[in-house]
């Protein structure tokens, strides 16, 4: 069996999180177009970072210059950060959670008498 790439593991994790959220909410859930684009971009960045890390490991045998190692390492870090940032933009579940405190404040504003407004 082939080992999954970093991007495939990321996609599987996000799909599993969405499935769990759907089971908990009792409603079918799916990613919207913006989230699907972020996921695809995050998958590509994660795979690119993984390939760069593999290349970096190959170059560590002493033949590569410090400059080449630094560039590979920086590029790998940038791709890893990009994958994390893009994955963080994906909403899992039914929307933003509302704090009870903020809900009470909003209800108090809406429920006060017209004379007070």
pLDDT of residue 97: 53
Percent of the chain with pLDDT over 90: 62
For 21-46, the pLDDT digits (tens) are 999 989 899 999 999 999 999 999 99
- Tell me the C-alpha distance between 22 and 31, whole Å: 11
Residue 81: which H helix or E strand, with range? helix 66-88
Query: pLDDT value at position 3?
Result: 93
CA-wise closest residue to 39 among 79, 80, 3, 85: 85
CA 44 to chain centre: 12
pLDDT digits (tens, 9 = 90+) for 49-78: 999 999 999 888 767 888 889 999 999 999
Burial 101-115 (b: 16+ CB within 10 A, else e): eeeeeeeeeeeeeee
Give the C-alpha separation, 112 to 99, whole Å. 20
Look at residue 116 and tell me whether its pLDDT is greater than 70.
Answer: no
């Amino acid at each position: 069996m082939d080992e999954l790439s970093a991007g495939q593991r990321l996609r599987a994790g996000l799909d599993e999180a969405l499935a769990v959220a759907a089971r908990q909410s009792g409603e079918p859930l799916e990613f919207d177009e913006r989230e699907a684009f972020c996921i695809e971009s995050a998958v590509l960045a994660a795979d690119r970072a993984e390939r760069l890390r593999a290349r970096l490991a190959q170059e560590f045998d002493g033949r590569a210059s410090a400059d080449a190692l630094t560039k590979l390492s920086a590029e790998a870090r940038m791709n890893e950060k990009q994958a994390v940032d893009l994955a963080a933009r994906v909403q899992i579940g039914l929307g933003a959670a509302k704090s009870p405190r903020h809900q009470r404040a909003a209800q108090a504003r809406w429920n006060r008498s017209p004379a007070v407004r």
